[in-house]
Amino acid sequence: MKEKADPFGFVFMIFLSAVFLFPIAIVFMNSFKTKFSIMGAPFRLPDKDTFAGFDNYITGITAAGIGGAFLRSVFITVLSVAALVLLCSMTAWYIMRDTSAVGRVIYKLFLFSMIVPFQMVMYTMTYVATGLHLNNPVGIIAVYLGFGSGLSVFMLAGFVRSVPRELEEAAEIDGCTPFRTFFSVVFPILKPTAVTVAILNAMWIWNDYLLPYLILGNRYKTLPVAIQISMQGAYGSVNWGGFMAMLVLAILPIIIFYLFSQKYIIEGVIAGAVKG
């Protein structure tokens, strides 16, 4: 029997979506307005007196040097997310299949790393990263791997626990090595959780401001750092039009990535993996 749709739930979800989309709509709308109209009437639609066209985008791109910062952010985000997904999935598989006390201790250490606030370790971490020459676009990937591995291993380990061992035993009987078993059997099954981990970490790393600012500084500016620094003028003045325009350009890649990846989150790859 067909279930009856809940109109109240539908209305509530529409309202909730509007609440989340409202700030993005305000930023997009103000990116086409002049600076003084943004400060005076930020919630008013642009008209013939306040419409600035694409001037804010041109000014922002020129001032922020967004080309180099964009490529640098793409490089750091892609490699960091790839390292987190690959290494954390291998770690989660090892921990869940290791029945000794060593596996349990390692798992608890990963869980403990999740509860340590970043503010407690940021100055020590900056000193250590500088001493190890990690204050560059390649070195910061190792830092992101350390900070993101706790949550990633926790999520992947929970999914690995539900993977039937019969699949791995069948692969071993067929002569597969542990590496081939992981990449041919286990990792494809982990795809929904792996994509979820990739989305969460990509959103965090792409939008992160504090960690790149502390480690990379002004020498290797990522997109958030470049926008923040270039849009501020003397005596605390801010180019709000260019600031809004650069925010729009900064959130577009991560939104596109999410739209193309969201179908994998709800995909039940594990369903029906073992039959009869």
Model pLDDT, residue 168: 81
Residue spans in the chain of domains classed CATH 1.10.3720.10: 65-265
Residue with tokens 């529409």, as numbered in its chain: 14
Task: Please give the biggest Cα pair distance in the chain.
Answer: 75
Q: Which two tokens stand for residue 61?
A: 């791109």
Q: Which two tokens stand for residue 2?
A: 């067909």
- DSSP letter assigned to residue 143: H
Q: Which two tokens stand for residue 35?
A: 């600076």
H/E element holding 45? none
Instruction: Tell me the CATH number of domain 65-265, given options 1.10.3720.10, 1.10.443.10, 3.30.1540.20, 1.10.10.10.
Output: 1.10.3720.10
Length of the chain: 276
CA distances from 23 to 16, 27, 28, 120 (A): 12, 6, 9, 31
pLDDT, one tens digit per residue, over 142-168 is 999 988 898 899 888 888 888 788 888
Helices and strands in the chain: count of H runs, count of E runs:
14, 0
Model pLDDT, residue 3: 57
Q: What is the Cα gyration radius of the chain?
A: 23
pLDDT, one tens digit per residue, over 218-273 is 888 888 888 888 777 666 677 788 888 888 888 888 888 878 777 766 553 333 33
Quote the CA–CA distance of 25 and 44 in Å, as a whole number: 12
pLDDT band at 274 (very low <50, low <70, confident <90, very high): very low
Quote the CA–CA distance of 273 and 38 in Å, as a whole number: 55
Q: Which two tokens stand for residue 42?
A: 């930020």
